[in-house]
Amino acid sequence: MMTQNKFIASVLISAFLLTLVSCGGGTKSAAETKPEEVLPEDIVELRADQIKLANIETGAIELQSLSGTLKVSGTVAAAPQNMATVSMPLGGFVKSTTLMPGNLVRKGQTLAILENQEFVDIQQNYLEARNKFEFAEAEFKRHTELYKNDVYSQQNLQQVTSDYKNLKAQVKALEQKLALININPANLHEDDISSSVALVSPISGFVKAVNVNIGKFVSPSDVLFEIVNSDKLFLELTLFEKDADKVSTGQKIRFFINNETEQHEAVIYQTGKSINADKTYKVYASIPVICKNVLPGMYVNAIIESSSNKVTALPSDAIVSFDDKDYIFVFDKDKEEGGQPFTEYRIIEVHKGVSDGGYTEITLPAGFDISTAKVVIKGAYNLLSAKKNAGEMAC
């Protein structure tokens, strides 16, 4: 009802303004007729009584800290170091596993037991090489001392040294193979040789996928388990190219998932360094607080709070729109005609930016002096009505 009343009041004011500026005294004689003043297209003039009726007030352009918002979409993702694809480097048969998708696992926890004859061969070869190395190491030390005392020849020492280094390299290589199948060489003895080894989790997190069953043979390239740690997630947001300059590191983000009303927070830690082929731009934001219902792969709607830099701004009511363009009215000059005071206002095209708290950012024409300008901050739409009907206002 209040909106309707405001509309009616505005119409009445505009109509009254037109009446006041129209010809008011019947038909004039040729002697009384004066040349009609032709105003520039960007000027509208009003008498003092019209200004009072239209409730026109002027003010200065201000520098305001405005915080606008930008609505974007994206997905929840986990950092590469928080995702693990688990395979068995040497393959084997799955002997046992108890995991299901969604299970929580700890780093180092057994995911499955695998069997392979090759496991036995590696352990055997390692123990044999280690025993030979221990003997070769003792021989190397002994022959080195004998050579120093001129008891042993250099040729014999070189042969012993070669055997020692070859066995050392063999032992180191077999230690690395044992590490691949999660066997600690320091704990391996002749009585501990087994055809079964444990496949363990490299990280803590939730099991995303289980691709094994008992008795299945898996090759080194097969993905057996996928594990995701959801403690440290981030957002991958997609912006349009035109909005790339509106975001920066450190800006806060509010986001929502699954059309929920619960609000979550994130902070931009990195912005994209290039524009994609589809003219979009990527922004990445960390989620500082663990959210129980936020999981990797979820779709999110986010609101980015724009930077709050000082910008030129006016009360939003001071900016009027016409034919998809935005304008403001600025006091131009006072004058007198026929013994009556008039005031001229100049209409100036501007470009709107973000709005916040009743103020709107504006971009002014080059060379505009904001320090001396008096802008119409109230009654601007009444001036626009007078401007649009300027042809009917002439006497």
Q: What is the mean pLDDT of residues 53-68?
A: 85
Phi-psi sector, 55: left (phi>0), alpha (psi -120 to 50), beta: left
Task: Give CATH 2.40.420.20 domain extents, the chain.
Answer: 2-66+310-393
Q: What is the mean pLDDT of residues 23-40?
A: 53
Task: Give CATH 2.40.50.100 domain extents, the chain.
Answer: 82-228
Cβ atoms 314, 360 nearer than 8 A: yes
pLDDT band at 377; cut points 50, 70, 90 = very high
| pLDDT over 90 (residue 3) | no
Q: What pLDDT does residue 31 have?
A: 43
Q: What pLDDT does residue 129 have?
A: 92
Average confidence score pLDDT of the chain = 84
Which of 168, 134, 129 shows the shortest CA–CA distance to 142? 134
Give pLDDT tens digits for 168-206.
Answer: 999 999 999 999 998 999 889 989 899 999 999 999 999
The distance from CA 133 to its chain's CA centroid, rounded to whole angstroms, is 57
Q: Which of 152-156, 240-244, 345-349 has the lowest mean pLDDT?
A: 152-156
Q: Which of 150-154, 181-185, 279-283 has the lowest mean pLDDT?
A: 150-154
Q: What pLDDT does residue 167 have?
A: 92
| pLDDT over 60 (residue 2) | no
pLDDT band at 153; cut points 50, 70, 90 = low
Q: What pLDDT does residue 116 have?
A: 94
The structure tokens listed for 151 are 């008891």
pLDDT band at 35; cut points 50, 70, 90 = low
pLDDT band at 308; cut points 50, 70, 90 = low
32/112: higher pLDDT: 112
Give this prediction's pTM.
0.56
Q: Which CATH architecture has domain 2-66+310-393?
A: Beta Barrel (2.40)
Write the single-letter amino acid at 205: G
Strand partners, 284: 236, 270
Using CA atoms, how far apart are residues 14 and 20, in angstroms rounded to an integer? Answer: 10
| pLDDT over 60 (residue 24) | no
**Domain 82-228: which CATH number of 3.40.50.970, 1.20.910.10, 2.40.50.100, 2.40.10.220:** 2.40.50.100
- Above pLDDT 70, what percent of the chain? 86
Phi-psi sector, 41: left (phi>0), alpha (psi -120 to 50), beta: alpha
pLDDT band at 60; cut points 50, 70, 90 = very high
Give pLDDT tens digits for 221-260.
Answer: 999 999 998 888 899 999 988 888 778 888 888 898 877 7
